[in-house]
Structure 1
Amino acid sequence: MSGSHPALARSARSRRLDRGRPHGTGPLGTGPLGTGPLGTGPRRSRVLLPAAAAALTATALLATGCTSGGTGGHAAAQTPGPVQAADQQASSAGDLQTAYTNAVKKVLPSVVSITTAAGLGSGVVYDGQGDIVTNAHVVGNATTFQVSLATGGRPLGAKLVASYPAGDLAVIKLDSVPSGLQPATFADSSSVVVGDIVLAMGNPLGLSSSVTEGIVSATGRTVSESASDGGTGATIPDMVQTSAAINPGNSGGALVNLNDQVIGIPTLAATDPQLGSGAAPGIGFAIPASTVQRIAGQIVQNGKVTNSGRAGLGVTVRGVVGSDFQPAGVAIVSVTKGGAAEKAGLQAGDVITKVDNAPITTVQSLTAALAGLKPGQQVPVTYERDGTTKTVQVTLGTLG
């Protein structure tokens, strides 16, 4: 993958002290990347006021036909007068307003607040059996949780089913299922297009059941989390970019279209380097519904992810620097027995410098390169061993 990405900050927690962690990242294949612990500390974020919903209007041209003098004639197109045009605008604005309120009424009851000893995040009711999908960085290292429903009532206990840090998704399960629990409806991700109006629902900054609005700004983004700022260090492909405000506490909630469907799980907000750690307004990212359903479905059924659908090398790696102290590649710490790297002859100590013609200088660049590839794809991998540069064809495995 080429180009640069904005620095990304996790958006899950709003009630914790900042604390730095060593830089690390998620697994590539079957083992964790890097040797340091994953960061779990929060960051402070500027509070952004929700943008006012823009009323969209449309004016229709009405055509009427008439005859004159019994000799026939051409139908004359007539434009609506001021009163008629105003009525049409009011009707269009009213239809949009109704779509907004209906989406909130139908989907918000499926969005929950998740509290751990470390912070606060959001989740979405996945099914009627009490399974709730959220971000892996929301659950962190916790295994028990307090869940508050948008419909009210006392907090409910829940336990971790499984977490998948490489894709920043997790599933927790309510200890007891209340009557009337309302699962969300997930959209077909392929139908999401730039310009779609969307609503972000969650618990930003501890403000329960909050809703912000925006549009789909882009699709198919590959972005990386900051492992030192509370994220999992994951590089996630095919994300939905949105202008809807995503603040700490929104993570794990719902990005919803006006068909009352969840199109994604809000996960990241971009940061502007000129603002230090401040969020860049109007640039947030959500994991698409197709990925959410694939990963959460496997966790619910099997208690773990059995097929991520993402390419992996089957290695544990760490970053290395050159003689100029600049990033110069990633060294293989270990290879998975029977994995893609071992089958291709790669060994511990080899330094990977290129994958499928993409330069590899850091662990993050390796995860980004693999995020754009598919399991079973054969790609050239360039590496250094004992001072010699070599290239080998590797048939990619599946990221565990």
Structure 2
Amino acid sequence: MTVSCATVRRTPLVVAVLGVVALASGCSSAGAPSASPSASTTQAAPAAPAAADSLQDDYQKVIKNVLPSVVQIQASSDLGSGVVYDDQGHIVTNAHVVGDEKTFKVTTANSTEALTAELVYAYPEQDLAVIKLTKRPEGLRAARFGDSAKVAVGQITLAMGSPLGLSSSVTQGIVSATGRTVSEGRSGGGTGATIANMVQTSAAINPGNSGGALVNLDGEVIGIPTLAATDPGLGNSSAPGIGFAIPASMAKTVADQVIKNGKVTDSGRAALGISGRSVLDDGYRPAGVAVVTVTKNGGARKAGLEPGDIITRFDDTAVPTMQSLSEALAEKRPGDKVPVTYVRDGSERTAEVTLTEI
């Protein structure tokens, strides 16, 4: 399984709507007994179950309250989504939505007029970015962000955004899993980030949903939809019902630092302190990560690793590729001490590395 970023190229979209009309006639056959004069000739439709009415009311209430806080973002030929973060006009979105651009057109749910926004800071390492409206419109409403620690499998979710350029769209599903570590490809405009603790959802995540809102029935944003799974066996077409969202806690951590300092000052993400590349064995199978450079004052250099070493295990986990090493690192925190197994001159060695921060 692979994942792809949920942005969309701005191309014409034709939606065919098929209207199905059901025709019913109330006639009696010639031999049918006539109705008793005292009998009613019509029957009231059965009342909908109270539970269904209540759930529908919950859906509609959440959509009414949250959708005005979800915007469409246009960056050149790409379209994505964003979430209004505060009353000052800051908007949280994905770094792959903004790309290398500095100015954007933003359309809110309550208006067709495009507003102008400027980039505050993009943080590709976590695929998050903050932009700000140059002029704050009346009635702008900030979303409420929930507690990621309370997100549980089975909770009902609503994904809000602009899939395929269809602004203010809503899909529904559940939280399918939590704590997923997912690597984002660079093809299709991705940042190549490896992101930990992602929320997996069955709510449909389509191109254009990137940067929008994954919402619970309390009307809280619990994640930023970012990736959709694709199936290589089906020509990398979307795998229905498997989407991933960056947890709200990480979005808040990044946004708060960017708004206060203009950049991310404390990523909370661990670094080994190397640049590397995947290597193959004699059978052309992934065999480890070759160290290309070591960072000055980084954990790897202090532990004695050198360029040319081939890392094969990280904290007792096999790391045959750079992606697998990145995924293992994403589970750690700066300051953690981790055994790293590597090969130098044909000899296997192990060093304890104190992880630093990205």
Q: What is the TM-score when the length of structure 1 is the normalising length?
A: 0.78
How far is the alpha carbon of 1:368 from its aligned partner? 0.8
Partner of residue 227, structure 1? 186
How far did 1:16 drift?
6.5
1:303: how far off?
1.5
State the partner residue of 1:21.
none
User: C-alpha separation between the residues in 1 aligned to 2:312 and 2:120?
Assistant: 37
Shift of 1:324: 2.5
Q: Does the CA-based 8 Å contact 2:157-2:215 persist in structure 1?
A: yes
- 1:390 matches 2:349: yes
* Structure 2: runs of 5 or more not aligned: 18-45
For 2:328, the equivalent position in structure 1 comes to: 369
Residue 57 of structure 2 is matched in structure 1 by: 98
| Larger displacement relative to structure 2 (261-270 or 376-385) | 376-385
Question: By how many angstroms is 1:153 displaced?
Answer: 4.3
Deviations along 1:320-353, whole A, 9 cap, x unmatched?
A: 2223332222222222221212221222222211
Match of 1:108 among 56, 59, 67: 67
Q: Who is 2:81 aligned against? A: 122
Specify the SS of the correspondent of 1:325.
coil
Q: Paired residue for 1:265?
A: 224
TM-superposition CA deviations, 1:105-136 (whole Å, max 9, x none): 11001101110113100000111111111111
Alpha-carbon contact 1:108-1:150 (below 8 Å) kept: yes
Aligned pairs for 1:1-400 (under 5 A) are: 6-15=1-10, 90-398=49-357, 400=358
Helix, strand or coil at the partner of 2:72: strand
Q: Structure 2: which amino acid aligns with 1:90?
A: P
For 2:49 and 2:193, the matched residues in 1 are separated by 46
Q: Secondary structure at the match of 1:368?
A: helix
Unaligned runs of 5+ in 1: 1-5, 18-43, 50-85
**Contact 1:13/1:138 (CA < 8 Å) preserved in 2?**
no
User: Taking every aligned residue pair, what percent have the same amino acid on both sides?
Assistant: 59
Contact 1:239 1:286 in 2 (8 A): yes
Q: CA deviation at 1:197?
A: 0.9
TM norm structure 2? 0.87
CA contact (8 A) 2:9 2:77 kept: no
Per-residue displacement from partner, 1:5-50 (whole Å, max 9, x unpaired)?
A: x211111123369xxxxxxxxxxxxxxxxxxxxxxxxxx9xx9x9x
Tell me: higher relative CO, structure 1 or 2? Use CA pairs within 8 A at least 6 residues apart. Answer: 1
SS in 2 for 1:170: strand
CA distance in structure 1 between the partners assigned to 2:310 and 2:135 by the alignment: 50
> What displacement does 1:356 show?
0.4
